[in-house]
Chains A and B, each alone.
Chain A
Amino acid sequence: DTGVSQNPRHKITKRGQNVTFRCDPISEHNRLYWYRQTLGQGPEFLTYFQNEAQLEKSRLLSDRFSAERPKGSFSTLEIQRTEQGDSAMYLCASSLAGSHESPLHFGNGTRLTVT
């Protein structure tokens, strides 16, 4: 068990470009979450998957954002036509649904800077 892994750690892109982030959850975890965190704030929920099904999306997730978890294992988050307001830390987390306790485990995040 190597924990939740996110790549890349940092991404600098120009406004208008597309970016994609990857998350590998803890191997036996069936729930996967994406959060966004800006300076001085708590993480904000974006979306979550149970296995390969995307079950909930926040209204923060505009149509420029899309997330996939094609085989119920790793997930990708794509942002199209990036804007400066998209600059943030993007956090992935996973948990095991159906267990008595299901604590959330976070990765180290991908820091996005849009110039």
Chain B
Amino acid sequence: GEDVEQSLFLSVREGDSSVINCTYTDSSSTYLYWYKQEPGAGLQLLTYIFSNMDMKQDQRLTVLLNKKDKHLSLRIADTQTGDSAIYFCADHNQAGTALIFGKGTTLSVSS
């Protein structure tokens, strides 16, 4: 079945760039997503990328997609302490309806 893998932890200093990586197995994915979950909160949709795009930029966020390698990354420029959270990569299930999530990457930003 479909699978989404992420590294579990990333620690950066305030002002540095953060890069969170994700790999997925479903080559028919149309959209791929990044969600953010702050402590005790629900999931916030950060951004998504259409599968025919290589890159999408939205303010401090840059998403890179390598379809050949089934690799997705989220770059956060000028990382702030408020960016500390768990970041989930997500793909659609085989039915193309619900989402399959990676285990989440905990981003820790130190000042």
Co-assembled chains A and B: no
- A→B interface (CB under 8 Å): none
Q: Chain B: residues with CB nearer than 8 A to chain A? A: none
